[in-house]
A and B are shown apart, each in its own frame.
Chain A
């Protein structure tokens, strides 16, 4: 399972970085989105990956680390998702403002000289 997650994070991050380096604002937004997905998965996997383990103490389950997974990264991911989502929304508004004011969707606000 570690391999699958690692490859998924790698592919997401690589596509995100490539898109961020593109000249159009919409590509940059998509790149930032993909990058934040990969970061969220990364934080999540830092709490070590298990299937079917409880994050919070439950009656009937022996209270030792073999039967529980780390709940903290899950809480962190939740915060990170909310923040990155809000920031992306803000970036989209600015993208539209920039498109309206400059008449182009180039990140510099003007087309490169041919």
Chain B
């Protein structure tokens, strides 16, 4: 146990160290910085994997790695904790970061300065946010993550990015202010910022202060929900994500999940079922907010015309599903939601990379990036086919056309990606949705006789889940037909192998998830069980003892 603990801080220390070397190298040596970045990101992934394996080894749900960076005991100093949930999110971050970086190395990293340093700082913020167990420290890591994301969002410059970036920064600064107000209110009531200590103190808050505590928690939740993309706080998300360059958007696919992670972590710790008067505070808000987000995103998905926009809206769809599923506070549902989170994040990230390659084949003058203004669908081109194209069955000379290899690759990847996002069998998106549906229909588990009837809002979520799948199916089949089946004289895009590799990795991981769903589902079941019974977490954090000072240790020994 003690051997692994210093490794917990490594994912946070490694990226700033790499970023410092890159800044020192300056504007030159771009290939060198690229490979350095890749090596560092891979090392980060490796450390995450070691932690991931480690949390599973020591018992089914009771393993927590606790590290005290300041060597102060728990409620006084900052604590870093790795548990099932953090380890899972870190591995996911590492995988997506590697793939986004590989894609960027082909072309995009040359589009502006300091891409690699910003990328590393973004990773530091992400890893830090997943590891920390202190409310104010969480704020600091959020700011690190956001500061880097502002730079990355503007990478490549251009009018669309700058004006979407302006909104993105303004809304996030506002959300940060709300975060601080919420954290200050909670500190004012409870006198602590340590998450485990908060979980211990909240059941004993006097009744007169409960209103203030709940107001603080609600303000804090608004800040996280704005990042997670709940309606009506998500208007910034679609323009920002569709304007960002492809590798950055792929990395941002994990950013809304940070908001969802924080809600899951804070809500299950602070307002667990054991929290007395504040038990499960605000659960209904999560359920209804998630469902409204899901509905609106699914309807907008049908109306979307561009692939990037559709990918961004799919992020909102998955955010809605996750928020609503978390709100039920039901371990089996949380476990399904975590599986769905992994599968959808991998697929969406691949979709962002893929959409850039697909849209590249359409000539640049066709639709400019800003031209998203007229939202009404255009009539489908094939209704009035261009002269010379041969669509009629009666005509004899139908020339057999060779499908270019690149188009075949893009088409197949698009189909796999779309299947994953829609949640059609046989891929892992389907398994994720199936687990969610089965948990909603059998709240007590499959093998237990169901006494209580399925609740009304479960039925609502079930129908919305199915409706969102239908909406995504409609939207993706239409855009697939438009992009791949319409006859048009256009050169097939030139692809580099570095650009195809990350897509292949992401999609084959998703396919591997289909076959290895059982072990992962077991893992998410353990995670959900540990989340909904936070005693073990609190005990581990509170039991962590600082390392003794070497001089006092020597005195104690003889």
A interface residues with partner B (beta carbon < 8 Å)? 20, 25, 28, 32, 35-36, 39, 42-43, 46-47, 72-73, 76, 79-80, 83-84, 86-88, 90-91, 94-95, 97-98, 101-102, 107-109
Contact = CB atoms under 8 A, between A and B. Distances in A.
A63 B254 CA distance: 48
Interface string B164-198: 01110110011011001101110110000100000
Contact of A35 (B166, B177, B185): B177
Contact of B173 (A32, A47, A101): A32
Contacts of A46: 184-185, 187-188
Contacts of A39: 177, 180-181, 184
A73 B184 contact: yes
Nearest to B137: A79
B159 A101 contact: yes
Contacts of A95: 166
A10 B415 CA distance: 54
B452 to A, nearest CB: 43
Given A43-B180, A46-B184, A87-B147, A102 B159 contact: yes
A79 B134 CA distance: 15
Contacts of B154: 94, 97
A37 to B, nearest CB: 10
Contacts of B146: 87
Nearest to B144: A83
B359 interface: no
A18 B158 CA distance: 30
Contacts of A28: 170
A90 B153 CA distance: 13
Contact of A87 (B176, B180, B183, B193): B176
B242 to A, nearest CB: 15
A90 B187 contact: no
Contact of A98 (B140, B150, B163): B163
A107 B162 contact: no
B533 interface: no
Contact of A42 (B157, B159, B176, B184): B184
A109 B184 CA distance: 35
A108 B163 CA distance: 6
A83 B183 CA distance: 15
B163 A109 contact: yes
A35 B163 CA distance: 22
Interface of B: 136, 140, 143, 146-147, 150, 154, 157-159, 162-163, 165-167, 169-170, 173-174, 176-177, 180-181, 183-185, 187-188, 193
Contacts of B166: 25, 94-95, 98, 107, 109
B121 to A, nearest CB: 13
A20 B193 CA distance: 30
A83 B163 CA distance: 23
Contact of B167 (A83, A101, A107): A107
Contacts of B163: 98, 101-102, 108-109
B187 A35 contact: no
A94 B185 contact: no
Given A32-B174, A87-B143, A102-B159, A76 B165 contact: no
A32 B184 contact: no
B187 A72 contact: yes
Contacts of A97: 154, 157, 162
Nearest to A80: B180
Given A102-B159, A102-B163, A90 B181 contact: no
A18 to B, nearest CB: 13
B147 A86 contact: yes
Contacts of B176: 83-84, 87
Given A79-B136, A83-B143, A91 B169 contact: yes
A91 to B, nearest CB: 6
Contacts of B167: 107
A34 to B, nearest CB: 10
A107 B140 CA distance: 27
A109 to B, nearest CB: 3
A101 B161 CA distance: 11
Nearest to B76: A72
30 contacts: A20-B170, A20-B174, A25-B166, A36-B177, A39-B177, A39-B180, A42-B184, A43-B180, A43-B183, A46-B184, A76-B136, A76-B187, A79-B136, A79-B140, A83-B140, A84-B173, A84-B176, A86-B147, A87-B143, A87-B147, A88-B173, A90-B169, A94-B150, A94-B166, A97-B157, A97-B162, A98-B162, A101-B159, A107-B166, A108-B163
Contact of A91 (B136, B170, B185): B170
B170 A109 contact: no
Nearest to A33: B173
Contacts of B181: 39, 42
A51 B442 CA distance: 60
Nearest to B164: A109
Given A20-B174, A76-B184, 7 more contacts: A32-B177, A35-B174, A39-B180, A46-B185, A76-B187, A84-B173, A98-B166
A42 to B, nearest CB: 6
A108 B169 CA distance: 13
Given A20-B174, A102-B159, A94 B187 contact: no
